[in-house]
Amino acid sequence: MRTCQGVSPRGGGYGGPVATAPTLDTIRTAPKVLLHDHLDGGLRPATVVELAEQIGYCGLPSTDVADLEAWFRAAAASGSLERYLQTFAHTVAVLQTSSALHRVAAECAEDLAADGVVYAEVRFAPELHTERGLHLDQVVEAVLAGFAEGSARAAATARPVSGRIRMGCLLTAMRHAARSREIAELAVRYRDAGVAGFDIAGAEAGFPPTRHLDAFEYLRQQNSHFTIHAGEAFGLPSIWEALQWCGADRLGHGVRIVDDLVVAPDGTVKIGRLAAYVRDKRIPLELCPSSNVQTGAAASIAEHPFGLLAGLRFRVTVNTDNRLMSGCSMSSEMATLVDAFGYGWSDLQRFTINAMKSAFLPFDERLALIDDVIKPGFAVLVG
């Protein structure tokens, strides 16, 4: 194990003084990068009601928009990942037509742009949207077209930060199913059309990522990017398999890497071999604070490992996971972390650049967004 001296949640003073502390309103004006967001977890509540009516879906717990929104948040805050995932039965049920997928993807791009997100990778599982006869290619094409339309509509607003967004998507295979190779091939087939990479998701316990080794081997052979949901509801073995057996580029959540850290009463931290590997290799952690509290991966935002991991200089990124279920946005997640750990603008810029460095984009395009959009946007705010 490695030993580090005491660290503060802010990272030992890396943030530095700022003219004005970040607030929710000012954070909305900052350029942000989102790597972990689920399409079927970010619908507008009113859209869920309207789509259900259009297709005759009668399973919603309420057709009142405000009541439905409150239900999603309450049902997701169960402390269990398995129960959290049950809320998706309703959103997936209304996303079974090309028009519905197109609409939700367009609204997703608009909503993220309005929140100041300049680059986003939004994931979805094509295999979950074929119950009414759509083929996998039709699902992907509908979402990509929706992202393009929503991005164009957002750009027409001509606001300084919001309105300019680049959308990519990750195709997700369900870890309890047996279609991962098929979805991996789909991701490669559409990688020049807007698909940034591949992912697996679903309940971790009992469904290790090594069940899908053929998909990951194929992706590596094709020089394709992929992330793996790991270290959310299940611990270090899930992370170890995702990295050392499957070769993941990023960890979806990865919050349980904290299990490999031992914090002494004097603040000294001993870092285990797996955690040291993750930090040394700069493996990105797609942390989703509010979602992690809802699923029981963290007891509260104040006790979330984000502060410790950021202080130890792991490559932490801020993400929403499911905006509908968690009732959050990128701005609100950052504001929550500011309140919990006292972060300033320099900290938020670091987390944003961490995310942009870790995006599944060509190097020159990542660099251009950092130098031409992110750094200038934060320079105005730092003062």
Catalytically active residues are 232
- CA–CA distance, 94 with 109 (Å, rounded to integer): 19
- CA–CA distance, 44 with 72 (Å, rounded to integer): 11
Phi, psi of 153 (to 5 degrees): -65, -40
Is the Cβ–Cβ distance between 122 and 38 less than 8 Å? Answer: yes
